[in-house]
Amino acid sequence: MLVFTTLGLAVLADAFKEASMLYVWTNGYLGEKNKAIAQEALAFIQGTSLEIMIRTYDLGYDADNLRQTFFRTFHVKATN
């Protein structure tokens, strides 16, 4: 069970880290590959995939709260 939960937390952390590239790498060059990865991660966070992943790994997080915290951190208005 511990390995399963650790895997779920790693997926969650990586998704937020990859999506943050869109807001952190502000030097004007993100690169096409990194931009595509970041956009996929952002779509994962904004869509229902986040809820499904949290439920699948039984992580006990609130997806809406995670989204709000993520967008508030980067001063971005969440799209609903």
2-54: pLDDT as tens digits = 888 888 899 999 999 999 988 887 666 778 888 899 999 999 999 999 999 99
User: How many Cβ atoms sit within 10 Å of the Cβ of residue 60?
Assistant: 8
Q: Does residue 79 lie within any of the structural domains? A: no
Domain count, the chain: 1
Judge residue 1's burial from the number of C-beta atoms within 10 Å of its C-beta, 0-12 exposed, 13-18 middle, 19 or more buried: exposed
Q: Give residue 23's pLDDT.
A: 84
Residue 80, domain member (yes or no)? no
Q: Where are the alpha helices (DSSP H) in 1-80?
A: 2-24, 32-46, 49-56, 63-73
Which of the four pLDDT bands, split at 50, 70 and 90, describes residue 66? Answer: very high
- Give residue 49's domain range: 2-73
Which of the two residues, 74 and 14, has the higher pLDDT score? 14
Reply yes or no on whether the pLDDT at 75 is more than 60.
yes
Q: Which residue has the higher pLDDT, 16 or 75?
A: 16
